[in-house]
């Protein structure tokens, strides 16, 4: 009897131990990872591969740096942007495409009135002579919710513009804050934007309205769609698709969150508005996203990778079946608050910006 009781105690202990080990490994059940900090940076915000060995990176305070990821050599590039570091604003996203650099930034318009603006320059390792191709109007005196990410699809530039803390301004199609923008690469206006197809009260650059503070935007190499992430208020972060002429509902909808005072905002979703693919309540502070394609983590091909600031996680979403979205936490508390994510164009390894540097994540399985 004693032997039998001991056997069951040992069996129970082994079972509990296996649960602990599974819980520990559930963040990376298919892979083991190496994390390496490549360089120190000061409040980096956006990044883009220029080639397979160099990345161009913005620092919120105003510097643009070209980083050799092999030698770790840093070259600071001069620029002529009329930017201001103001609250959540400063230099934001940056994108290299066919020998041009595109950048979103907080532009100083007049007496602390600022906008999320976009500029373009011919790539040069010494100085970038930018010219604006978009300004979010009206300029607003607010340090909050600039967005902003950039994505190129074909000859179109998509960009996200935050609602600057203005709430219902995101429902006003005659104002840019709180919307997704679509323009040509030179700043021209596509004639098939919603303004010309039934949304006559929308500004011509607007593609979709009703967003709050979207800091993630990505083109899927699998289905050709644009996906995005968005900060809710106190809860209500989400991941979803950018859809032409549609409305995500801010601030009519609260997406499951509340005001910081605790007062309800509105329903999570209701008919007539775009429905997100995945919501997070409480908030994880969603940041940059990408749709993975590469060889380093082949099992993730086609899945969305979602970074977060407050939650300090990398999450993976398998969303080919929207009725059964599968979410997995890949890691948590490994590199701090994650601001940006990039996939190496050749080997598929992952590069992250956190609050103070550039990090590499490799598969060590």
CATH number for 210: 2.120.10.30
Residue 31 is predicted with a pLDDT of 74
In a domain, 148, yes or no: yes
> The sheet that has 113-122: what strands, in order across it?
91-97, 100-110, 113-122, 131-135
CB-based burial label for 78 (10 Å; 0-12, 13-18, 19+): exposed
In a domain, 173, yes or no: yes
Residue 101 is predicted with a pLDDT of 98
Per-residue pLDDT tens over the stretch 254-289? 999 999 999 999 999 999 999 999 999 999 999 999
Residue ranges, the chain, pLDDT below 70: 1-30
Q: How many structural domains compose the chain?
A: 1
Residue 30 is predicted with a pLDDT of 62
How far apart CA 212 and CA 195 sit, in angstroms, is 21
In a domain, 24, yes or no: no
Residue 113 is predicted with a pLDDT of 96
In a domain, 13, yes or no: no
In a domain, 75, yes or no: yes
In a domain, 21, yes or no: no
In a domain, 15, yes or no: no
**CA 67 from centre of chain:** 21
Residues in the chain: 365
Residue 365 is predicted with a pLDDT of 78
Could you list the residue range(s) of the whole structural domain that residue 118 is in? 34-363
Tell me the whole-structure pTM to 2 decimals: 0.91
In a domain, 20, yes or no: no
């Amino acid at each position: 009897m004693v032997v039998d009781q001991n056997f069951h105690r040992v069996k129970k202990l082994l079972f509990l131990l296996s649960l602990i080990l599974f819980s520990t490994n559930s963040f990376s059940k298919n892979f083991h990872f190496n994390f390496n900090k490549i360089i120190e940076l000061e409040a980096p915000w956006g990044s883009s591969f220029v080639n397979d060995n160099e990345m161009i990176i913005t620092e919120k305070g105003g510097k643009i740096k070209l980083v050799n990821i092999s030698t770790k050599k840093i070259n600071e590039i001069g620029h002529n942007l009329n930017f201001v570091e103001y609250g959540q604003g400063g230099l934001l996203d940056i994108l290299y495409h066919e020998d041009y650099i595109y950048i979103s930034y907080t532009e100083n318009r007049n007496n602390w009135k600022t906008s999320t603006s976009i500029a373009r320059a011919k790539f040069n390792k010494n100085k970038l002579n930018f010219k604006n191709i978009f300004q979010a109007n009206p300029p607003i005196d607010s340090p909050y919710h600039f967005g902003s990410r950039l994505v190129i699809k074909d000859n179109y530039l998509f960009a996200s513009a935050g609602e600057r803390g203005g709430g219902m301004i995101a429902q006003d199609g005659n104002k840019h804050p709180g919307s997704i923008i679509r323009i040509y690469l030179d700043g021209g206006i596509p004639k098939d934007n919603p303004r010309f197809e039934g949304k006559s009260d929308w500004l011509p650059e607007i593609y979709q309205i009703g967003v709050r503070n979207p800091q993630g935007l990505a083109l899927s190499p699998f289905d050709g769609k644009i996906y995005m992430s968005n900060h809710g208020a106190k809860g209500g972060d989400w991941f979803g698709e950018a859809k032409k002429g549609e409305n995500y509902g801010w601030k009519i909808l609260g997406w499951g969150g509340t005001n910081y005072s605790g007062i309800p905002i509105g329903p999570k979703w209701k008919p007539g508005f775009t429905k997100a693919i995945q919501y997070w309540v409480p908030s994880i502070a969603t940041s940059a996203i990408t749709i993975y394609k590469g060889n380093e983590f082949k099992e993730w091909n086609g899945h969305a990778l979602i970074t977060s600031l407050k939650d300090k996680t990398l999450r993976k979403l398998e969303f080919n079946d929207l009725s059964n979205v599968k979410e997995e936490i890949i890691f948590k508390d490994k590199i701090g608050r994650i601001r940006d994510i990039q996939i190496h164009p050749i080997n598929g390894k992952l590069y992250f910006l956190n609050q103070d540097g550039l990090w590499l994540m490799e598969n060590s399985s």
